[in-house]
Amino acid sequence: MRLHFTRDWTPTGASDPLPLPRVQGNVWFGSKDKTMAARKIIIDTDPGQDDAVAILLALASPEDVTVLGITAVAGNVPLPLTEMNARIVCELAGKPETRVFAGCDAPLVRKLVTAEHVHGKTGLDGPQMDAPTMALQAQHGVDFIIDTLRSHAAGTVTLCPLGPLTNIATAFTKAPDIIEKVQEIVLMGGAYFQVGNITPAAEFNIYVDPEAAKIVFDAGVPLVVMPLDVTHQALTTQPRVDAFRAMGTKVGDMVAAWTNFFERFDKEKYGSEGAPLHDPCVIAYLIQPDLFTGRHVNVEIETVSELTLGMTVADWWRVTDRAPNAMFMGGLDADGFFALLADRLARL
Ligand code: BDR
Ligand code: CA
């Protein structure tokens, strides 16, 4: 039995919003009401080439998402670089009016772990980029998240974390009243079948700040998770990279060059024909949820074990009676995803 969910699907609350699957059910397919207005979002990010592509996809898709602001967090590289990279990307998109805020510069309780081995020293290594001229907003990113949620009607702002969850967890801790105002969190992080990419057991975003991830996963907010299980299907094969370059635009060239840069590392690591384009899956879900399938399951974050720190313990087979707290995605229409990307990025 195949079940469908829509944007109105609300996974929190006392009971499952959908009946539990019978035999092979339990696979949910996203769908979208085309008459819905653009969804208001805050992108919380640590660019990162794949974060950069996600930001470009969002800024190219005003009919689907309104970017209220971008909050930078320390992750792939330290905060001074992630906030600058976010501004570089907004300028590349021709949207210097986008508001970019600097958030937290370190995880809640741990020392920052970065990923220059994947993204290069700047986080956006590859093509030469000019320093941005647009200003960084003076307000702290966490306060921007709090103020934005407080000043909007409940259920009208979606958070899109693409990096460690430090900013979101800090906002929830500082202002618990905003938690019930969040429409949904759609995040990239975690893994179940693909296990880990920074340790054998953990995905990078969750591993960097597991305490923050625990706060977010336990908050009771409607949660959609794009784990490695999905993003490892979003591979930048040669024809897909060629399609970016064939756009003949600055954005197309840049995305192709970024992809070539981080492919060096990932192709060798995974032995795959391309690198996973992780973070754009989050934005693609908001635009075309039917590209994804997943299960509404319980996901707990490991914060204690040395061996499995940051693991997302997803009850994929529903072998416990722990309450489902996340739509954990597992399937992707990869060709559809890259077609969407090429179509939207060509607009910039
Ligand atoms: C995640 O880690 C980062 O390196 C990427 O930007 C992505 O958000 C993948 O594990
Ligand atoms: Ca990221």
Q: How far is the CA of 45 from the centre of ligand 1 (A)?
A: 10
Residue whose Cα lies nearest atom 10 of ligand 1: it is 204
Q: Is the pLDDT of residue 21 over 80?
A: no
Checking DSSP bridges between strand 312-314 and strand 223-226, what pairing results, if any?
Answer: unpaired
Q: Is the pLDDT of residue 13 over 50?
A: no
Which of 43, 46, 192, when mutated, tests ligand 1's pocket best, judged by the most ligand atoms within 8 Å of its CB? Answer: 46
Q: How far is the CA of 202 from the centre of ligand 1 (A)?
A: 12
Looking at the chain, the whole-number percentage of residues with pLDDT higher than 90 is: 83
Q: Which protein residues touch ligand 1 with a CB less than 6 Å away?
A: 48, 50-51, 76, 115, 118, 162-163, 188, 197, 203-205, 278-279
What value does the mean pLDDT of the chain take? 91
Is residue 232 within 8 Å of residue 329, measured between CB atoms?
A: no
Provide the 3-class DSSP secondary structure of residue 157.
strand
- To the question of domain 29-345 being in CATH 1.20.1260.10, the answer is no
The pLDDT tens digits of the residues spanning 275-286 come to 899 999 999 999
Q: Which atom of ligand 1 is nearest to the CA of 203?
A: 10
The whole-number pLDDT of residue 233 equals 96
Which of 278, 312, 329, when mutated, tests ligand 1's pocket best, judged by the most ligand atoms within 8 Å of its CB? Answer: 278
Ligand nearest to the CA of 204: 1
**Active site residues per annotation:** 278
The pLDDT tens digits of the residues spanning 52-106 come to 999 999 999 999 999 999 999 999 999 999 999 999 999 999 999 999 999 999 9
The whole-number pLDDT of residue 26 equals 61
Q: Which atom of ligand 1 is nearest to the CA of 47?
A: 6
Q: What is the pTM of this model?
A: 0.92
Residues 6 or more apart whose Cβ sits within 8 Å of residue 195: 201, 228
Q: Is the pLDDT of residue 5 over 50?
A: no
Residues 6 or more apart whose Cβ sits within 8 Å of residue 57: 280, 283, 284, 287, 340, 341, 344, 345
Each domain of the chain, given as residue ranges in start order, spans 29-345
- State which amino acid sits at residue 315: D
The pLDDT tens digits of the residues spanning 174-210 come to 999 999 999 999 999 999 999 999 999 999 999 999 9
What length does the chain have? 348
Give the DSSP letter string of 291-341: GEEEEEE-EEE--S-TTTTT-EEE-TT--S-PPP-EEEEEEE-HHHHHHHH
Q: Is the pLDDT of residue 3 over 50?
A: no
Q: How far is the CA of 110 from the centre of ligand 1 (A)?
A: 18
Provide the 3-class DSSP secondary structure of residue 41.
strand
pLDDT confidence of 2, banded at 50, 70, 90? very low
Ligand nearest to the CA of 281: 1
Is residue 52 within 8 Å of residue 89, measured between CB atoms?
A: yes
The whole-number pLDDT of residue 274 equals 85
The whole-number pLDDT of residue 4 equals 38
The pLDDT tens digits of the residues spanning 117-169 come to 999 999 999 998 899 999 999 999 999 999 999 999 999 999 999 999 999 99
The pLDDT tens digits of the residues spanning 105-114 come to 999 999 999 9
Which of 49, 186, 187, 204, when mutated, tests ligand 1's pocket best, judged by the most ligand atoms within 8 Å of its CB? Answer: 204
- State which amino acid sits at residue 170: T
Closest residue by Cα to residue 155 from 286, 7, 16: 7
Q: Which atom of ligand 1 is nearest to the CA of 49?
A: 6
The pLDDT tens digits of the residues spanning 143-157 come to 999 999 999 999 999
CA 186 to CA 224: how far, in whole Å? 5
Q: Which atom of ligand 1 is nearest to the CA of 46?
A: 6
CA 218 to CA 230: how far, in whole Å? 22
